[in-house]
Structure 1
Amino acid sequence: MSHTAHIPSHRKPRRSSSKLALRAGVAGGVLSTIAVAGAAGPANAEPVTETIEMPTLNADLSTDLSSVVAASAEATQQIALDEELQAQENAAATKAAKDAKKAKAEAERKAEAEEAQRKAEAKAKAEAAERASRSAERTTLSASAGDSEDGGQDDGGSSYDSGQATGSAAAIVAFARAQVGDAYVMGSTGPNSWDCSGLVQAAYRQAGIDLPRVSGDQSSRGTSVSLDNLQPGDILYWGSRSNSYHVAIYVGGGNFVGAQNPGTGVVERSLDYDMPSGAVRVL
């Protein structure tokens, strides 16, 4: 082959500029049409509108709602009433407990005061009995000395040789002896228990004579008489006449009847058992 022979090229043949221009024009026209259509499409579209309907309350639903509200209010009011009632019950229980505690303390104080008073009265009676015993001993010694000096002569007027009670004195003596065996109770005036002045007062009432209630006032009545010249019905006293602490009734024969103390009660005893300090005659 000649070196001048034509050798075919392996490269693709070039497209002519006219064909490229035609193709570009067509493509541009198509793109322009699409662009115009896209731009015009939204402008001419109908707007979409969505409406949401709210539920409407009918008459039955309104009635039910009103009932619920009323029931709620009633329940709230009932709760408030229950709480108020509970508070009142709690307050009442607290007050009752305080009152009970106060009453118990008052009862205990009262019992203590009564016990202290009983002890004081018992002590006073014991002291009085002791004084009376010492006085009796002194009186007995004095009487014994007097009997020795006069040779033991009995003039018929001594307290150990009195006659029988008559008249009003008999009523007094009979009543006093009828109470022998009854109990002694401080402040008692019968009919089954007595203190010393209560018994004397009741006995003299049998004779129509009203005596004062207490022993000091009773021993201040009438006229003073000697223990050597006693008569049935005379009032015996222990202590001073204006301030005696014990009284009894002389019943004759050298004896007296008296409400002595809680241990003995009402007894009939010889004057030697507990010699009195003095005597008065009211009849």
Structure 2
Amino acid sequence: MSHTAHIPSHRKPRRSASKVVLRSGVAGGVLSTIAVAGAAGPANAEPVTTQTIEMPTLTSGLVSDFTRSAEATQRVANFLDLRAQQDTAATTAAQTAKKFRAEADRKAEAKKKAEAAKKAEAAARAKAAAAERASRAAERTTLSSSSSSNSDSGSSSGSTTSTVSKTTSQATGSAATVLAFAQAQLGDAYIMGATGPNAWDCSGLVQAAYRQAGVDLPRVSQDQSTAGTQVSLSNLQPGDILYWGGAGSAYHTAIYAGDGEFIGAQNPGSGVVKRTLDWDPPSGAVRVL
């Protein structure tokens, strides 16, 4: 007996050929069964499909779509901006129209007030003219009575007109200048307080006429009636200042034009006119030139 006969071996025991063949046959049968079963499956069974997800490719057509979309968005933005501008313009136009309407209403109201004031002024002038005429009538009555009661050297003047000079001499020098200016204003309007160039009151016309000859007269009738040397109505010369009322308290003045006539701004009804002394006999006269 060998001395290693009792030492157990550490190698795995070898399988027998019959067992290997058996296992191979079983495995082959199973695989065959699976293959046969797959082949013998139902004819209408859906085949197993595999789905593949593809990422989009940025082609030129896709880029064009993006461009058109951007352009459409821009057009919408432009439209909205235009609409906003139109709304703003409409609001501004409405505000401007409202402002114009208010201004038109204000002007219309101002015009209405001005017309009312003008009518009131015309009424006041007419009333003043009526009062002036009444005052003149009263003054003439007083002067006539006074003249009738006075006498010297056995003769008296029965009326103011009987003592009025009918001088027919033509004006010369400074008097001609004064009368030429007064003559040029015939037909102008009478407005109380006016001093030209197209409207006058009585003393305003006299003052302006004498200014042409370099003479600076006072502005009002009261002062003009004492601005020169008192002269008789029977000794008048062209260019003399005629006054109605008392010297220093006269209410009207005019300029003697010669030939028994005078030029003066009479009243709102007649304006600047030439009249005879008999039409409205003056109370007195002063000579400045």
TM-score normalised per structure 2: 0.63
Matched with 1:136 is: 136
**Structure 1 position 71, deviation (Å):** 1.0
1:77 aligns with 2:77: yes
Q: Of 177, 180, 205, which aligns to 2:211?
A: 205
2:190·2:272 contact (CA, 8 Å) conserved in 1? no
Q: Of 243, 248, 252, which aligns to 2:254?
A: 248
2-structure distance, mates of 1:69, 1:281: 104
Residues 116 and 224 from structure 1, CA distance in 2 versus in 1: closer, same or farther, beyond 3 angstroms? farther
Residues 95 and 60 from structure 1, CA distance in 2 versus in 1: closer, same or farther, beyond 3 angstroms? same
Q: How does 1:210-229 map to 2 (within 5 A)?
A: 210=216, 215-216=219-220, 220=223, 223=227, 228=232
Number of matched residues?
Answer: 236
- What is the CA deviation profile of residues 7-61 of structure 1, one whole-angstrom value per residue up to 9, with x for unaligned ones? xxxxxxxxxxxxxxxxxxxxxxxxxxxxxx89xx79xx9x945314345232314
2:150·2:156 contact (CA, 8 Å) conserved in 1? yes
Unaligned runs of 5+ in 2: 1-32, 42-46
Matched with 2:173 is: 167
Amino acid at match of 2:262: F
Pairwise CA RMSD = 4.1
Q: How does 1:1-283 map to 2 (within 5 A)?
A: 48=48, 50-54=50-54, 56-151=56-151, 153-154=156-157, 160-161=164-165, 163=167, 164=169, 165-180=171-186, 182-184=187-189, 186=191, 187=194, 189-190=196-197, 193-196=198-201, 197=203, 199-210=205-216, 215-216=219-220, 220=223, 223=227, 228=232, 232-236=238-242, 247-252=253-258, 255-271=261-277, 273-274=279-280, 282-283=288-289
2-structure distance, mates of 1:147, 1:243: 19
Amino acid at match of 1:76: V
Residues 112 and 243 from structure 1, CA distance in 2 versus in 1: closer, same or farther, beyond 3 angstroms? farther
**Structure 1 position 72, deviation (Å):** 2.5
1-structure distance, mates of 2:241, 2:258: 12
2:245·2:283 contact (CA, 8 Å) conserved in 1? yes
1:160·1:252 contact (CA, 8 Å) conserved in 2? no
2-structure distance, mates of 1:124, 1:235: 27
2:195·2:208 contact (CA, 8 Å) conserved in 1? no
Matched with 1:16 is: none
1-structure distance, mates of 2:129, 2:106: 34
2-structure distance, mates of 1:248, 1:237: 7
- What is the CA deviation profile of residues 71-108 of structure 1, one whole-angstrom value per residue up to 9, with x for unaligned ones? 13311221122112211321232123113212321221
**Structure 1 position 142, deviation (Å):** 1.4
Residues 69 and 242 from structure 1, CA distance in 2 versus in 1: closer, same or farther, beyond 3 angstroms? farther
Indicate the larger mover: 267-276 or 85-94: 267-276
Matched with 1:33 is: none
Amino acid at match of 2:156: Q
Indicate the larger mover: 228-237 or 125-134: 228-237
2-structure distance, mates of 1:245, 1:100: 49
Indicate the larger mover: 255-264 or 272-281: 272-281
Amino acid at match of 1:79: F
Residues 92 and 234 from structure 1, CA distance in 2 versus in 1: closer, same or farther, beyond 3 angstroms? farther
Amino acid at match of 1:161: S
1-structure distance, mates of 2:131, 2:238: 26
SS of equivalent to 1:99: helix
**Structure 1 position 127, deviation (Å):** 1.8
Amino acid at match of 1:115: E
Matched with 2:23 is: none
**Structure 1 position 115, deviation (Å):** 1.0
Matched with 1:29 is: none
Unaligned runs of 5+ in 1: 1-36
Residues 195 and 100 from structure 1, CA distance in 2 versus in 1: closer, same or farther, beyond 3 angstroms? same
Amino acid at match of 2:196: T
